[in-house]
Amino acid sequence: MDKKSLPDWDPRSEAVLKDQTTAYDDMRHRCPVAHSQYGYTSLFRHADVLRVLNDHETFSNAVSRFPAVPNGMDPPEHTAYRNLIERYFSPEHMDAFAPTCRDIAVRLVQALPDEGRAELIGEFAQIFALQIQCAWLGWPADFHEPLRLWTLKNHSATLSRDEAALSAVALEFDGYIKDLLDVRRTAGAAASHDITTLLLRDQSLGRPLTDDEIVSILRNWTVGELGTISASVGILAHYLATNFGWQQRLREQPALLPVAIDEILRIHAPLIMNRRVTTKEVTLGGRTLAKGSRIALNWASANRDEAVFGDPDELRLDRDPELNLLYGAGIHVCPGAPLARLELRIVMEELLGRTSRITLAPDKEPVNAFFPAGGFSSLHLQIQKPPSQPLGAGLPLEIR
């Protein structure tokens, strides 16, 4: 093989998967624009990633062979769909959903042991993500388990790059959603007033959305929400379990949680990368990429770039929020960010407000999640709760 065609790195090597954060930090310093045998050129520096995010004409989002409304589209097609879905994440929708979100968080925190061990990912974070997503979209409780199993199959198919499996899981999800739409059509005016029903009746494009459009929107919301919310809860709990000073400060001053959550998730990313494809020849980091080159934007590295953040492991509440790429940037910045921030703030308010101390279990090491996921696949914690819960425990307190 010609030396020039050899890959710069293997994103699925044992060394990378064992400690993704350290591996990406190394790539950012050693080879910030790197080719792999999987056909992607990975970008590790904040400046390069931000350049791509802000130049949607050169770096297209139309990378999937499946319809992806609207994140797999470019303007002008993207613009109308983006305007349509942004309304579902308005302050009014967030305010209306907040009580339901808090009820779910309270119930799950109360189910944790008063004093003892909990495996936080499977026993709490994944359940929270499933229940909160179904509640947000108005899906029935008996959909929780099928959706959980579907998520596992989707992750496995994505990791294996098995095209037949990817097609099968896509069709399975289509069937679930179309059944939910049929229930609402049959109910007519008596259909439940939820996000799924609102999408079915949406006329923002001057016509109803097709079933395929609704399925694509809901698939994108679901895939993005379930994995990143459960990963984020695990990352936040792990960070606070290993940094008791911050744990106690945020327990006493929960008004600081929104900024602290974004900063902790900058340090340890819940989502590793996203994709683009070049629409013309372009030079990045001194390397020339041909038209049609596939690019992987490595959020986990870009958000730890010393050129932007100094010490990437230092938690600071005074950073410029515009520099944090947790939810992306440019025209494709995550539309669901208001919902994710609401859910994470509330669940951490309740977890901190209804416990007195959270630590790592001494005899169980955390197990890192497997690429392309971030966070942990297993996280054993020791939970301590106060002897009695005062009325209103878990609700935001005043800053002291």
Domain that holds residue 19: 3-129+225-384
39, part of any domain:
yes
Instruction: Tell me how far apart the alpha carbons of residues 337 and 225 are, in angstroms, rounded to a whole number.
Output: 10
Left if phi > 0, otherwise alpha if psi is -120 to 50, otherwise beta: which for 124?
Answer: alpha
Instruction: Tell me how far apart the alpha carbons of residues 342 and 120 are, in angstroms, rounded to a whole number.
Output: 20
400, part of any domain:
no
309, part of any domain:
yes
Instruction: Tell me how far apart the alpha carbons of residues 309 and 330 are, in angstroms, rounded to a whole number.
Output: 20
List helix spans (H) across 275-400.
Answer: 299-302, 306-309, 337-353
Residue 388's pLDDT is what? 65
37, part of any domain:
yes
45, part of any domain:
yes
163, part of any domain:
no
Count of structural domains within the chain = 1
Residue 332: CATH number of its domain: 1.10.630.10
Residue 102's pLDDT is what? 98
What's the CA dihedral at 335, 138, 126, 24 to 10 degrees?
A: -10
Element housing 146 (H / E):
helix 144-160
399, part of any domain:
no
pTM for the structure as a whole: 0.92
36, part of any domain:
yes
* Mean pLDDT, 10 residues at a time, the chain of 400 residues: 67 89 96 94 98 96 84 93 95 97 97 93 95 95 88 78 82 91 95 94 96 92 87 98 97 98 97 94 94 96 98 97 96 95 98 97 90 88 82 42
DSSP 3-state percent helix, strand, coil across the chain (nearest 5): 55, 10, 35
Token pair, residue 103, equals 């009820």
